[in-house]
Chains A and B, each alone.
Chain A
C-alpha cells in the first residue's frame, strides 16, 4: 500500500519567515495530494491540495509543489504569522481508492513573534 513520509516533525520559525514541509510517497499511482492544518483541539481543515496533472498551486501565502518523477511534494508558507502555528499533515490518495487518504506523520509548526 501507499506510504507517506513527512519531514520535519517539528519546525520553529520567526514571524515573517518562510516555512517548508516536505513529503514523499511510495506509490506512483497516487494522484491527489491534500494538505491539512489541525490546530490544538480542533478538526483537520484542508488548506490546499494538488492533483498529479499540476506541478504547482498557490493560494495567497500558501503554495504546494509536486514532483511526480521524484514522488515528493512540498508545502510552502510565506510571511508566517502566529496563527499559522498548528500541526500540518500531508496526504496522498489514489484514483479508485474510495477516497482513502494515507497521511504523513505530521509537522508541528511553531511561529514565534
Chain B
C-alpha cells in the first residue's frame, strides 16, 4: 500500500460541534504531518509527529487537537471552530523527518458554518 488515506472527504460542521479527521498510512513511515491549505495558497504546516511523538506544533489554536494513536494513524480533533478555519486539511507522511519525500493524502474539505 503506497497511499495515504483520509476520512471523511468532506465535512460540514457548526461552530459548537466536535468532529475528528482521520489519516492512515501503511508504508511504515515514522513521520506524519497535518497541513491546512486555503484556496490558491500553499499548504501550511500545523503539526508534525515523529515516532508517534509530537515534534512540532506551529502555534496552532487549541481548538485543533492532534493525536497519533500508533505509527499508522493520525487524528485531528476539532472543537469550537471558526468559519475562518474552513479549508482543505491535508495529512502527509514520510519515512522519517527531514530530507524525505512527503506523501500527501487527498485531504478533507472542511466547511465551518
CB-CB contacts below 8 Å: B87-112 with A: 90, 94, 96-107
Interface residues of A (CB under 8 A from B): 31-32, 34, 36, 42-46, 49, 51, 87, 89, 93-101, 103-106
Pair count A-B, CB < 8 A: 68
CB–CB B106/A99 < 8 A: no
Contact status A98-B41, CB under 8 Å: no
Q: Number of B interface residues, CB 8 Å?
A: 26
Taking the closest CB of chain A, its distance from the CB of B86, in whole angstroms, is: 16
Q: Considering the chains assembled together, what is the distance between the CA atoms of A45 and B103 in angstroms?
A: 7
Please list 26 pairs of residues, one from A and one from B, whose beta carbons are closer than 8 Å in the complex, sorted by A's number. Answer: A32-B98, A32-B99, A36-B104, A42-B106, A43-B107, A44-B43, A46-B101, A46-B103, A49-B101, A89-B42, A89-B43, A95-B98, A98-B31, A98-B50, A98-B56, A98-B98, A99-B94, A100-B48, A100-B56, A100-B98, A101-B43, A103-B42, A103-B44, A104-B42, A105-B41, A105-B42
